[in-house]
Structure 1
Amino acid sequence: MRTLIAGLTFIFLTFVCGTLVIIAKLLGVREGPGSVFDRAPRWWAAGILKASGVRVVLHGGEQLVPGEPHIFVSNHVSWYDVLALVLVLPQYSFVAKAELFKVPLFGSAARAVGTIPIERENRKAAFQSYEEAAVRIRAGRNVVVYPEGTRGTSYALRPFKKGPFVLAIAAGVPIIPTIIHGTIEANPRGTLRVTPGVVDVHLLEPVSTAGLSYDERDALSRAVYERMAEGFRRIYGLESPPYPTTTTAAAPAAAAD
């Protein structure tokens, strides 16, 4: 029954909130904190989470400094990761796989609120998407990326793609490593089943990108990986594999799926 209620709520709120932001975009409504483009996604996420019986707890909220853009690098194991981050993060854009933009209404609404599509199979197009994201970040907008790419089946971290770290260096803003726990229990990959519970979002100490060059993208990736792995180990006693010593030098990107 909980899954049915959550599903119906998703359909209803996607239609209402999606239509709202699409109309606002067509009318030329200005973006910014407190605008409909900022509030409607929160209403959408809050409603679905409430219908699912899922409560989100934010830890490390002091890392959110008003007026200072960041890149949030998060683990990814469930669709509910997206809902949790939409609810707690200020003025942001997601980088998401281009296929999602083909979904009727949802895709148009995602574009209206600033979600950035990325062609994961097209390296050149992927990096063009990151260049677009870098421009938005320098203009003051936060961006969320999932460097593991697709959703996993456990909280142990998987190898990171390099695209998000190329983006961070190009934008010149700090990365906030972010770990999410509880979303596998709420809605694991491969099923529609929804289970009530608590999702914890931890914003860890930022990693600076100041003065870094493109050639240092792997070192940056390693620093973020190790900080997230240490967070999982310290908070939840969960171990991740060591950071891979051999990785693709310029793998394109990490989009939510």
Structure 2
Amino acid sequence: MYLFLISSKTHRFSHALFQLWAKVFFFISGLWIKKEYRYKPEPKKTYVFVANHFSYLDIAVGMGIIDHNFAFVGKSSVSKMPLLGYLFKKLHIAVDRGDKNSRSKTLVRGIKSLARGKSIFIMPEGGILSTNIPKMHQPLKDGPFVMAVENGVPIIPITFKNLYDIMPKTTIKGGRPHVIFHEAIETKGLNKKDIPMLKERVYNTIQGELDAFYKMAPTPFVEK
């Protein structure tokens, strides 16, 4: 796979191999992912995919369920891992969330990736930060929504329903991962003033599904 990373022209093929690896991993692990589509992403369209983040399993599941060519935006610490870190740096976008300059560069790279027709997969909570799982951490980060608005591409919320139950810490307990692709949220004609509205729609969509699944009272959206 490393040979295919030498040229940017072969990144798409290398990314496809990475996705295939994820699918094979879940198959042989017996973790057969159940995908529920409220909306089926169009193969030739570009999207910003956003999901809740409670488990270390989330990233691998995202790699296995999103069939588009995409860049994952994740912590810079991943890029420091042997071998896997090299792949991550070449195919995806690393961000040091504690560094304002790094966050700015990440935003620019994400906008450019979308402009080239490459989708983005990102967790708008900014990490596994919730202290009350399955309640999402608030407020959501602006980055994913700025990327989408700047390019006028749709946002697709994804609910990872039970991944925390399957892998709450670092040990997999078993079970069948269940994910939901929600209706796309259009951003054409919108601007940065509309970002709070987009954040609220995404939050209510993802958290609403979690509230229903875990039989919890609705959790209000918090902007600041």
State the TM-score, normalized to the length of structure 1.
0.78
Deviations 1:48-98 (A, max 9, x none): 323433110111174210111000110001121111111111211100111
Query: 2:199 corresponds to which residue?
Result: 221
* Counterpart residue type for residue 231 of structure 1: E
In the alignment, the residues of structure 2 paired with residue 109 and residue 73 of structure 1 have an alpha-carbon distance, to the nearest angstrom, of: 22
Corresponding residue to 2:15 among 33, 37, 55? 37
Q: Is the 8 A contact 1:70 1:176 kept in 2?
A: yes
User: Cα 1:87–1:133, aligned 2, differ >3 Å: closer, same or farther?
Assistant: same
Deviation at 1:110, TM superposition (A): 1.3
- Two-structure CA RMSD over aligned residues (Å): 2.0
Question: Contact 1:127–1:163 (CA<8 Å) still a contact in 2?
Answer: no
Structure 1 residue 138 corresponds to structure 2 residue 115: yes
Q: 1:232, 1:239 within 8 Å by CA — same for their partners in 2?
A: no
Q: 1:243 Cα shift? A: 0.7
Deviations 1:145-179 (A, max 9, x none): 10112224622222111122112211210100110
Aligned to 1:88: 65
Alignment partner, residue 165 of structure 2 = 185
SS of the residue corresponding to residue 165 of structure 1 reads helix
Partner of 1:79: 56
Aligned-pair distance for 1:211?
A: 1.4
CA distance in 2, matches of 1:27, 1:168: 27
Partner of 1:196: 174
Whether 1:172 and 2:179 are equivalent positions in the alignment is no
Q: TM-score, normalised by structure 2?
A: 0.89
Aligned CA distance change for structure 1 residues 54 and 127 (closer, same or farther; 3 Å): same
Q: Provide runs of 4+ in structure 1 moved above 6 Å.
A: none
- Counterpart amino acid of residue 78 in structure 1: S
Q: Paired residue for 2:141, among 150, 161, 171?
A: 161
Q: 1:236 to 1:140 in 2, by over 3 A?
A: farther
Distance in 1 separating the partners of 2:167 and 2:181: 21
Listed as ranges, the gaps of 5+ residues in structure 1 are 1-19, 248-257
Question: Please, which runs of 5 or more residues in structure 2 have no aligned partner?
Answer: none
Matched residue type, 2:150: A
- Aligned partners of 2:188 and 2:125: how far apart in 1? 24
User: Aligned residue pairs: how many?
Assistant: 220
In structure 1, what is the equivalent of residue 88 of structure 2?
110
Report the counterpart of residue 25 of structure 1 in structure 2. 5
Q: SS in structure 2 opposite 1:55?
A: coil
